[in-house]
Amino acid sequence: MNKPVYFLIDCSDAMCGGRGEAVNALMDGVVKRVVPEILEQKNPDLNVKFKVWGFSGDRTIKEQVRASVEEFPLLWKPISGDVFVGGAPTGAAIQAVIQDIEGGVRGDIDPDALPPVIILISDGEPTGTNPTYDEVMECAVKGGSKEVPQFRRAIRVAIGMNVSEEGRNSLKKFGRLSKVMEERGFSAYYDFPAQSEALFESMAHIIVPLICPISPY
C-alpha cells in the first residue's frame, strides 16, 4: 500500500527570517522524531513517500524532496533564507497537490494508495489568485461541483507560523482529520512556535497513526 505524505511549505517573503527558521526547526523535528517512529512500525506492506514542496511568487511550486521515508533524512536540506521571496500562491500549491494525487499529467490514479496526508505550513495569508485559496478548497466540499474525492478524503493538517488571528482562521479552513482521530483528541491545526515543544510530539503522534492506519477513513 502506498501512502504519500505532502509537506506544502509557504516560501513567500513573509516567511523570511524567524518564520523560515521555524520551518527548518519543524522539519528537523520531522527527521528526528517522525521518521524514527514510522520506521519502528516495520510494516513491509506500507510504502511511505514524503513529498516536500515549496511555493512562492505568482505561481511557483518547487519540489524540494521526493523520497521514501528511509531516504528522507539523507536528502532533506534546510531551506536557505534567499528562497523566501515573493507572494504566497497557496491555492496553486494545493491545486498542484490535487493534480499529483490524481496521477499527475498522465492521470494514473494509484488504486492501491491510501488517503494522503497533506501538511500545510504557512502564515495563513495567501496572495495567489489563479486559483485563490478559497476557490481550490471547494474541491474538499462533499457533493460540490468541484469536489475531488481523493482530496476531500485526504488527512489535512495546517501549521501556522507566527500567524495573525486572520491567518489562523484562514489555515483552519484547510484542516481535516478522521472522526476517529478527532475523538482521540488530535487537532487539524497547530500554532508554531508557541506550541513548539508539544508540536514535535504532536507531529509524530498525528502522522504515524495516519500512515500506519488503525481504522478506515
Residue 107 binned pLDDT confidence (cut-offs 50, 70, 90)? low
Output the 3-class SS for 130-165. Answer: CCCHHHHHHHHCCCCCCCCHHHHCCEEEEEEECCCH
Is the separation of the CB atoms in 88 and 14 below 8 Å?
Answer: yes
Host domain of residue 125 = 2-211
Residue 201 scores a pLDDT above 80 = no
Residue 187 maps to a domain: yes
Residue 54 maps to a domain: yes
Number of compact structural domains in the chain: 1
Q: What is the pLDDT of residues 70-89, one digit of tens each?
A: 999 999 999 999 999 999 99
Q: Work out the average pLDDT over 21-29.
A: 89
* pTM value surpassing 0.85: yes
Among 59-68, 187-196, 205-214, the range of highest mean pLDDT: 59-68
Considering only residues 217 and 3, tell me which one the structure prediction assigns the higher pLDDT.
3
pLDDT of residue 50: 94
Residue 185 maps to a domain: yes
CATH number of the domain within which 29 lies: 3.40.50.410
> Phi and psi (nearest 5°) for 35?
-60, -50
Q: Identity (one letter) of the amino acid at 84? A: F
